[in-house]
A and B are shown apart, each in its own frame.
Chain A
């Protein structure tokens, strides 16, 4: 138990150092982007029809939230704020804390991507087992071929295809937004709200499932094929162990390599799927990050990157620790 605590502590310290390195790198990287928030806003206002003076005035209010301190001083303030749990104040939201802005977007990333991740994992792993066991049959070949083809199609193509079929042609599913636009009930535990959220999430989730299904399926197939050739499978056959028990052995051993990938995917899901969110007009972290780059909202950009980094580092630590639990061989 003492050893486990020490291992966890070491991993956490290592993770914190990693987060600090990435936070430092991204801080300087985003500030090196050409373009200033005020200038970007100024041109937007001019294009909207404001005269030069009005546009400059309005943009200056935004620019008022952009620090004028030297970059290194800004960096020390940033790190100091982070240590106190503050991510800073958004420039493009003029005074709204970055944590609040990200917090509002986060559920809309977690819903479609976590759902899509779990669904695609379950389907992919199941069909991977079938494709491996039946690899000499038409079914196995067909499953492998289909997975390879789907894995090769870019996500935005799948998204547009689903929109065209289910929204434009059939009018069966909604496109854009997170809930019914005329729903005037409060968000929360009520059937109308929850079902509307689910209904609007179908196409984004389906897109994520389709783009990630192929990867899970092919990985699982390959892993199962490898396990099928192991001696212990032959031994279990010779000892007359039932096929269902043997399948359990195969599944438990074959899924181990996929477990790490799944754990890491939980970390990366916080970054959202930018293309999917942009195509489906789904206001998650991915779209927030994209908009913040366009507006040169440095605190929001660094905040979003930090969230993604921290999530990946934590997922990695959890995966490492859990791996030793699910695979006793690693503990030796």
Chain B
């Protein structure tokens, strides 16, 4: 019926296009009842998807984190403490061994006026375990959601207990980071015996493996039904609730029952749809967004946006762009060759072209971004790492030592063939594409004939990379604030290190990995280490115990150079003082790592003139 109404309206629009358009400027409330007005932004992780359900479990759902989609807490992305978070529906919490006790916001209510109850939280945790998270035995060394029970221990206090045998130091992060949805809306989709099924799936006894797998299958089936569910209307415990989703924008209005409404200035939030970075730039050039997330952006466009009056606030982005190798292919199987390439490439020059606005040239290959490395290792240890500063003489020495030969200004492999590199990148990744030109120029000038090549899209790139069709290409590394997450990108399951209980085995898998075939063990400071085993062990260690392990992994990565990091991305946020003021500032990493809804809950974003 709605679709028919759309069509009727569309037909009417066609008929009246000429006459009405001329006298139809944008209308709508620009100032709300509280003087806050309309807050307009885009959600970088979740562009509006016309027709998708208002369901946080749908991959393209029209729910927006921190506005109408709430969690118990919002991760601060603190590299030293993964459990560090801003309060959400939980006002505070305590971690006691393998349990977490959360103290709920006493006044938390859904937008239909019903209170947020322990039953809502318990059901939401069960749903989270249906979203592909369930696994037989819950897995030691696993950093997944290993909750075994959710129990009320007070009127507003809830205890979450880890599954038996689990040793996940990031347990609190997992609990706090789950979407909380109302039982009144989702309850009919969740079987009454779901916690029995969850318990069955978590059996570690080998004799129960078949029953455990059956339970996992049952949970996944429930999960599929929940992901496909389309609620008729939005019911939110956040500061806003969806009023309507147009094809071009989602309109959210204040949830009058929100527990901390006094801090929320805007009367409406408009989240605009976009299909490319250029549109976000266009909106900003016209002053149409109050806040905008990071997008790869050329310098000239940045200048236009700043000239319009936008301010930038730079925070840390836990990801870097690297050049990676298939280490089964000569000559990239030799660490001296990878080290030589690191010496040849001038990362400052490459960053200036590839990511001039949102990138900082990487200092030393470490597996983590510069800031995390400094925090974990300290200045002294970081100073001992090899920065691989631009040094062609050193590169020449290393290459000759690895058996390569230089003739007539060109480099030749040990088998006598000329060394040629095809540097693979992906259509649409404008920073990688631009930087590839500089990389190719630098290597070619050194005598290694290099040309960039383009994959049609990321899906094709992944498939061809896993099939080992590329020798050298771009890759995102050091992804996330958590060190384990960073090193998993280099020494994880996709790289052949498969966790099985307490043990990690190394396989030479093909067709389903990423840039692979690094050695199983390295010798660092005269000691043999298994990087996969060390990476997996981080899951159960506290901060102090992690430090020596991370130091070993950083040193190993610095020595072996499985990838050459080019730049650390910067989390650049843009804000505009047209309707609102009091924005987060440069360097406030924790708050900048979150969506503006969290900024509001933390007291930022106030109506101008208030």
Contacts and interface: CB of A to CB of B under 8 A. Distances in A.
**A and B are partners in one complex rather than unrelated chains:** yes
Interface in B108-124: none
A62 to B, nearest CB: 5
Contact of A61 (B131, B144, B461, B479): B131
Shortest beta-carbon contacts, A-B, top 4: A35-B459, A95-B228, A177-B248, A182-B28
Contacts of A186: 5
A100 B51 contact: yes
Interface residues of A, number: 85
Contacts of A60: 132, 220
B59 A195 contact: no
A24 interface: no
Interface stretch (B66-74, B239-247, B328-336): B239-247
Contacts of B45: 48
B188 interface: no
Interface stretch (B266-274, B414-422, B446-454, B502-510): B266-274
Interface string B6-18: 1111101110110
B128 to A, nearest CB: 9
A194 B480 contact: no
Interface in B17-55: 17, 20-21, 23-30, 38, 40, 45, 48-53
A287 interface: yes
A96 B492 CA distance: 34
Contacts of B213: none
Given A35-B460, A281-B273, A114 B9 contact: no
B16 A198 contact: yes
Nearest to A105: B50
Interface string A177-206: 111111110111101111111111110010
Given A184-B28, A195-B24, A179 B248 contact: yes
A327 to B, nearest CB: 28
Nearest to A180: B26
A48 B569 CA distance: 13
Contact of B131 (A57, A163, A184, A293): A57
A94 B59 contact: yes
A108 B40 contact: no
A47 B319 contact: yes
Nearest to B466: A39
B493 interface: yes
B501 to A, nearest CB: 16
Interface residue SS majority, chain B: mixed
Contact of B14 (A40, A114, A174): A114
Given A168-B282, A182-B29, A283-B50, A188 B144 contact: no
Interface in A226-284: 278, 281-283
Contacts of B16: 194-195, 198
Given A34-B459, A60-B132, A198-B17, A51 B247 contact: no
B21 A198 contact: yes
Contact of A49 (B60, B77, B244, B464): B77
B251 A49 contact: no
A181 B224 contact: no
Contact of A35 (B24, B53, B59, B458): B458
B224 A65 contact: yes
B51 A93 contact: yes
Contact of A201 (B13, B273, B276, B282): B13
A40 B12 contact: no
Contacts of A100: 51
Given A36-B463, A104-B51, A182-B27, A187 B6 contact: yes
A49 B463 contact: no
A188 B9 contact: yes
A294 B457 contact: yes
Contacts of B48: 283
Contacts of B14: 111, 114-115, 198
B2 interface: yes
Nearest to B77: A49
A41 interface: yes
Contacts of B143: 51, 53
A208 interface: no
B462 interface: yes
Max chain B C-beta neighbours (<10 A), residue from A34, A108, A180, A181: A181
Contacts of A21: none
B55 to A, nearest CB: 9
A199 B23 CA distance: 9
A40 B459 contact: yes
Interface residues of B, number: 92
Contacts of B13: 111, 194-195, 197-198, 201
B367 interface: no
Contact of B275 (A35, A179, A281): A281
Contacts of B276: 278
Contacts of B318: 49
Which of B45, B279, B459, B479 counts the most chain A CB atoms within 10 A?
B459
B479 A49 contact: yes
B9 A194 contact: yes
B275 A287 contact: yes
B270 A182 contact: yes
B249 interface: yes
A210 interface: no
B485 interface: yes
Nearest to A107: B10
B227 A177 contact: no
Contact of A182 (B20, B49, B268): B268
Interface string A296-324: 10000000000000000000000000000
A58 B58 CA distance: 9
Given A49-B480, A93-B51, A184-B28, A202 B283 contact: no
A205 B14 CA distance: 10
A167 B243 CA distance: 27
Contacts of B484: 51
B142 interface: yes
Interface string A11-45: 00000000000000000000001111001110100
A30 B8 CA distance: 33
A104 to B, nearest CB: 4
B20 A195 contact: yes
Contacts of A197: 9-10, 13
Interface string B476-495: 10011110110011001110
Given A33-B459, A35-B460, A175-B282, A281 B248 contact: yes
A57 B132 contact: yes
Contacts of B573: none
B146 to A, nearest CB: 10
25 contacts: A34-B460, A35-B458, A49-B481, A51-B484, A52-B492, A94-B60, A104-B6, A104-B50, A105-B50, A107-B7, A168-B286, A175-B282, A176-B279, A176-B283, A179-B246, A182-B26, A182-B251, A183-B28, A188-B5, A188-B9, A189-B9, A198-B21, A199-B21, A201-B17, A294-B459
A241 B257 CA distance: 79
Interface string B580-599: 00000000000000000000
A101 interface: yes
A95 B227 contact: yes
A54 interface: yes
A265 B494 CA distance: 48
Contacts of A171: 286
B518 interface: no
Given A108-B10, A176-B248, 4 more contacts: A95-B58, A104-B3, A191-B20, A283-B247
